[in-house]
Structure 1
Amino acid sequence: MPRKLIRKFMPDERKLKSNRYLSWLGSHIHDPNLWHLTRKSVSRAFFVGLFCAFIPLPSQMLIAAVAALFVRSNLPISVGLVWLTNPITIPPMFYFAYWIGTLILGVDPVAIDFELTMEWIKAELEHIWLPLLVGSLVCGIVSGTLGYLLMQRFWVWHVNKSWRNRKSRKFILRKLIRDKESQDSDEATPGKQSDKTAQSKKPE
């Protein structure tokens, strides 16, 4: 299972449970089903996290946490993936989403500096909200679906690879055991031992 690999990149469980933005979830945040690593829960978490990463609002983490509760996805991965949007990635990500929206709606794009702050939303969103919303939904659905499918494929591939490696190790181990047993059997047989001794003493 790829659980060990995934755990290396997961947000720390204790930090998430003590996060003030998630405290309003109350006892729900301690639901063990939200922390399990299974193929379904991780794949769903990739869809939730990548979809929410394209929501043009500052409350992405809260939305991802609520979505994780409803679809029973892994909470740390669902929340952690929304951190793909940061001060460096926000401008290109949301301008791309806005550009996709203008293509779908057939309107001309304008130059905009994107920021996920309430001040920016109040000043700019009313002018570009429709193409940004449409483009963000499209980008979120596409990226979330790709993340879901790729994680499904990766999980199956990793399980099959681990199974083949185990079979290979078992085969090698069985072969070593058979060779050792055969060697011990030859050494324990007096006739064979005498033949080997006689052959070693035979003059050239």
Structure 2
Amino acid sequence: MPKQLFKRFTPNHETIRNHKHLKVFGQLLQDPNLWHMNRRSVAGAFAVGLFWAFIPMPFQMIAAAATAIPFRVNMPISLALVWITNPFTMPPMFYFSYLVGTWMMGTPASNEAFEPTMEWFKHSMGSIWEPLYLGSLVCGLLAALIGYISIRGLWRMHIISNWKNRRGSK
């Protein structure tokens, strides 16, 4: 069940191998472990994807791919999870990360009203980047840990359920 569910919603090998931004990895994308669907690979992919989803930077997919390769986790899932951050989810995720950062640094949050203009970003980034990135790092690590543990646990529960069903049907 989990394997089929993940396969249904993840892009295929060729789509990823031929992606214009991921071609920089060349032969590294040929590793079969990057495409396996097992408990370790999928849980690791959740950790990688959720971590990079919380880091405010351009080209999160490249960072997720660069992390998935050495850890040998499922690349399609890692890349798909990065898309949790989209224009609708970015503001609340990054604002929450910013608040976590200000709390950890012991500094007050900025009372400046947000304006989606380049002028506001130029003016405000000097004061908000440290708490934003600290909070993003902490939130990303926590999301990665929770995702990894949750997927491992859910996968295990599914396997145990299948074993019980097989035992009961004999």
TM-score (norm 2): 0.90
Residue in 2 that maps onto 1:87: 87
Q: C-alpha offsets along residues 125-163 of structure 1, whole Å, 9 cap, x if unaligned?
A: 332111001100110011110000000101110111111
Q: Could you list the runs of 4 or more consecutive aligned residues of structure 1 that deviate by over 3 angstroms after TM superposition?
A: 111-115, 119-122
The alignment-based identity, stated in percent, is 43
Aligned to 1:101: 101
User: Which residue does 1:72 correspond to in 2?
Assistant: 72
Distance 1:105 1:17, change over 3 A: same
| Greater RCO, CA 8 A, separation 6+ | 2
Q: Relative to structure 1, is the Cα distance of residues 159 and 139 closer, same or farther in structure 2, using a 3 angstrom cutoff?
A: same
Structure 2: gaps spanning 5 or more residues: none
Q: Which residue of 2 aligns with 1:153?
A: 153
TM-score by length of 1: 0.76
Structure 2 letter corresponding to 1:80: A
Quote the offset at 1:164 in angstroms. 1.5
Q: Which amino acid aligns with 1:146?
A: I
Residue identity matched to 1:137: L
| Inter-partner Cα distance in structure 2 for 1:54 and 1:129 | 14
Residues 121 and 138 (structure 1 numbering): CA distance in 2 closer, same or farther, change over 3 Å? farther
Greater CA radius of gyration, 1 or 2? 1
The answer (yes or no) to whether the contact 1:53–1:60 under 8 Å persists in 2 is yes
Distance 2:5 2:100 in 1: 34
- Structure 1 runs not aligned, ≥5 long: 172-204
Within 5 A, what are the aligned runs for 1:37-186? 37-110=37-110, 111=112, 113=114, 123=122, 124-169=124-169, 171=170
Query: How far did residue 49 of structure 1 move?
Result: 0.5
Q: Is the 8 A contact 1:90 1:114 kept in 2?
A: no
